[in-house]
Structure 1
Amino acid sequence: MSISKSRQSPFNIANESGGDRLLQIEAVYDRVPVGLCYLNQDGLIVTINDQLSRLLGVESKIAVGRNIEDIVPLHAPLLRKGLAAAKSGEVIADGEVEIAEESFMVSAAAVMNDLGQFAGISVAYTNITELRRATRKLQETEQRTAYALENAGQWIWDLNIPANQVWRSPQYRILLGLDPNAAEKPSVGWDILHPDDRAHTLQAFDDALSGKNPLFEAIYRVKRPDGGDTWILSRGKIVEYDANGAPLRLLATSVDISMQKRIEEQLSSTVELRLKLEEKLLAANRKLRNLSERDHLTNLPNRRKFAHLLRQAFGQAHDVHKDLAVIMVDIDHFKTYNDFYGHLAGDDCLIHVARSLNKVVKQTSGSLARFGGEEFAALLSGVSKHEVMKTATQMLNSVTAMKIKHEASPSGLVSISLGIAILDENNRAAIAGPDDLLNLADTALYQSKRNGRGRVSLWGAFS
């Protein structure tokens, strides 16, 4: 590690001891794993260690001899305040700064020269980011119980075990709504226990007496004069034994946890409600996602969903060298069908065609989507060219077999045209992506249309 020095004596005295003192400071700076610098009384940086140089993002040789306003303008007011306090002989208050989204404690101490004169301050930048994070986590945890402990009183009690007599500090009277000014006298042990809590509390006491548990701890209720109950948490231990090892005294504290009990019940209800709301939200999100990926008329996957399925299948086909086929389908003369029969009849035609095509495609574990308007798209993965052609032919025949009248069509019936593109070992290198495969199937579809419609065309067979 290298530490730069100013040419001017940091102690502003006419002897060489200031230089020796600086060397001593630098030696310490070398061994301390925090960011350190030394400022003279004018606010000039006399020396700075590597840790602080890296932290501030400035080379030590540039920082040394410069005003703090030049090097750390955001921290300068804090450091100036420390210098002023040190000059006045006051204690330098610690401060906090943020550097690159991390928190640092800035501490400083006055440095005196050999004559006992104020020479400057030594400043330490200590990273407290993790401490702050831990503190925040602790605060979050404490906040859950803060309402329970707020305004809660507590008392000390001392049980004479052989005599079964208990002394309680006066605070318990305030907590239970009793007269706080009344004189407290020794009373019978466990006399304030709620009857329903007596058994388990005395069991906890017996476990402490026998040594089964090193500490006594019990939660129980105490009746108040107004008829209500106060929940109490008591903790204590045996603090005195006789010569034979028999327990003599139990010293304990009790605290009102009624608020905590209420909060636990509310929290339980809140958590239960939150879980129900989360379930409803998840169900709503699933429904919304499903709606966004479904065609509202045919209930088939829409174009967006088909594109997603195609991207996935295309990637898998490349990874495992599996064949992949896309079949584009178009209802022939559908515009004239709508014009002749009306749009309601057109919707009904689309639904029937969709059902017929989907039934065929499902037989090969393929996927069918409504691509848009009167167009459909099928995705077949891991099937041979022969199987693809067979499926396409079945799709063609299934629509024809429905014999849906189409008087505006030359054939008099609703028919479809199909175009096929297959990704296989022969063209895998030539087809760069899923869109390319889709475009090739679309090209084949238009070849079917040009050849008279009502037929199947395979890309590659005509290109």
Structure 2
Amino acid sequence: MPISKSRNAPFDKSDERGSDRLLQIEAVYDKVPVGLCYVNRHGLFVSTNDQFSRIFGIATENAVGRLVEDVVPNHAALLRDNIKTALAGEPASDAQIEISGELYMVAAAAVTNDLGEFAGISVAYTNITNLNDVAQKLQQVELRTSYALESAGQWIWDLNIATMRVWRSPQYRALLGLDPAGVENESVAWDIVHPDDKGRAIEALDDVVSGRKPRFEATYRVSRPDGGLTWILSRGKVVEYGPDGSPLRLLATSVDITAQKRIEEELSTTVRQRMELEQKLLEANRKLRNQSERDHLTNLPNRRKFNHLLKRAFLRAIENAEQLAVLMVDIDHFKAYNDFYGHLAGDKCLVQVGRALNKVVKQSGGSVARFGGEEFAALISGRALEPAAEIAAAMLDAVSAMGLEHGASPTGRISVSIGMAMVDPAGSAVHLGPEELLNLADGALYESKRHGRARLTIAGTFNN
């Protein structure tokens, strides 16, 4: 049988403190060095941050509520296209635009309302002028390097010492009489070396890997398609080491015996700059992905992120034979609250309730997400039924202790109802997955609502 629990706490006004916290969150949003805005499905600006205002030289109050054609006429068509793409259920492509002599990457993502319907797009403007300049300079260096290699009859190769796979630059094909238009992929090290010379090349590599010699140098023959042999001199050095000091990568040049090694140091710098640029681009993509996993109002993880966390926590609980509690939380009479106080007050209430729930759950090492509308979801790992129920009860108390007035509620103040479901490997054998666990918690939440609200209902323990 489901268990229901009710918690009450004395009335305590803390609206002013909650407002201060909300202003702090908004201030952080405005300090992000990326221009951010939200455009609804009709092409009207709903919100912008300070960086957006600085980029376009438009005050926030002069942008919100206006059409994109009135605020950013030079690329309004791009935003309209992003809205159409999102309406069609397709992901928007990143674009580059120039604003006041600066180059920006424009990334848009669809935003849905509480019913899962398309509501608009969230757009980020990232200044990539410096990255673009670096990429152009790097391209010029690589082009000059390519010309130099061709003129000197050289090629470069990059050896992964752990896997003994090697990448060669395209110039080696022309030097050996192969089709220059052929595509060169990674191949086994020493595969082009004459069988009688492989031993010398391998010994030269062993000298470098063991530390007996600081640089790699080997002379060997390579067979040509016409049956002839080309003598090659290869020189190089280890350019990457593991945490334990073991060599990981060897970068080298190869040239016929009559040529001279001229540009090895420039090549090492080019590879390093390319890796640094790739790392910066990966970091930029990580930040954009993080924005797509946060709820724009409460700054808690959104439903998409919660589903990911639930699957990961569920697998960990099964593998490690740990308990896992899933909680569904709903603000009581929230529709009536919105109708009575207005949607702005409703948004503020969501932020305050989310903050109170998160404070309790984080102390237990768990996590809280905004699941949608007035619903929140929480995960508590490694706690048995009774301790998990005590944490849920503390969540009820924390919301009640805020003393938020609710003139449209029978109790006169904001409260929440909670449904909880447990996975306990030590319990009875019931084969359920994370989705079924979530459904059990949701059903328990319905029971809390049905039996008077402001209480906890536990669906029972089970085993996967």
- Same fold? TM cut 0.5: no
- Compute the TM-score of the two structures, normalised by the length of structure 1: 0.43
Query: Which structure would you say has the larger RCO, counting Cα contacts within 8 Å and 6 or more residues apart?
Result: 2
Whose Rg is larger?
A: 1
